[in-house]
Amino acid sequence: MLLEAPFTEAKIRALKVGEMVEITGLIYTGRDAVHKYLYDGGKPPIDLTDSIIYHCGPVVVREKDRWVVKAAGPTTSAREEPYQGPLMERFKIRGVIGKGGMGPKTLAACAKVGAVYLHAIGGAAQVLAERVTAVEGVHLFEEFGSPEAIWEFRVERFPVVVTMDSHGRSLHDEVLRASQAALARLG
């Protein structure tokens, strides 16, 4: 199904674990440095209300007068677990794209704020870069360097799977429990 900007609470609350979603609109990259900066009280250079943050350190090159994305797969989200929940609450961030899933603090924040975790396909740097149709800006580039900067990506039909929803469900928890039961049966 298609998830189009604006990413309102109503649209996000309608999403359920296991749904395959394609995102169209503007999303922002942010990884370790950005999360720590915002958590420590840094001022966001863009309005994060109803935004989607992408855990990604892209390869972006300057070609003449524009930025071109060469590779843009997700990075491991678990590192942002201490920061993500509080930032979702503070800024009304509606979605986080990454890989590997996140923990109970983020899951609780998703329910409280009306937000979701969207799992991109790890390693699929080329397919995902192709879905970034334009780079509309970059922030904190000087401070944090290219992979850690906030890039404004215009994306079209960016493929993800909802693995944590705003109703308290986490596919990661469910698969873990099911696999533990399967292992017990194997002996």
Partner 1 sequence: MTGKILQAQLLELIRRTSSRLPDDVVRVIEKSWRKEQKDSNAKYALKVILDNIAMARENSLPLCQDTGTIICYADLPVWLDEPGFRKAYEQAVLQATKVGYLRQNSVDSLTGKNSGTNLGPGSPVFHLQQTKSRTLTVRTILKGGGCENVGAQYSLPDARLGAGRDLAGVRKCILDAIMQAQGKGCGPGILGVCIGSDRSSGYVASKEEFLRALDDANEHPALAKLEKQIVADANRLGIGPMGFGGATTLLGCKITHRNRLPASYFVSISYMCWAYRRDGFQLSEAGKIIRWLY
Q: Which of 59, 108, 111, 134 binds partner 1 (CB under 8 A)?
A: 59
Q: Which of 6, 16, 46, 70 binds partner 1 (CB under 8 A)?
A: 70
d(CA 114, CA 96): 12
* Catalytic site includes residue 35: yes
Cis peptide before 159 (omega within 30 of 0): no
In the bound state with partner 1, the residue whose beta carbon lies nearer, of 10 and 184, is 184
In whole angstroms, the minimum distance from the beta carbon of 47 to partner 1 comes to 28
Residues in the chain: 187
In whole angstroms, the minimum distance from the beta carbon of 49 to partner 1 comes to 29
Neighbour-count burial for 10-41, b at 16+ CB within 10 Å, e otherwise: ebbbebebebebebbbbbbbbbbbbbbbbeee
d(CA 57, CA 30): 8
In whole angstroms, the minimum distance from the beta carbon of 63 to partner 1 comes to 12
The mark string for 2-41 relative to partner 1 (x by CB under 8 A, - otherwise) is ----------------x-x---------------------
Known catalytic residues are: 35
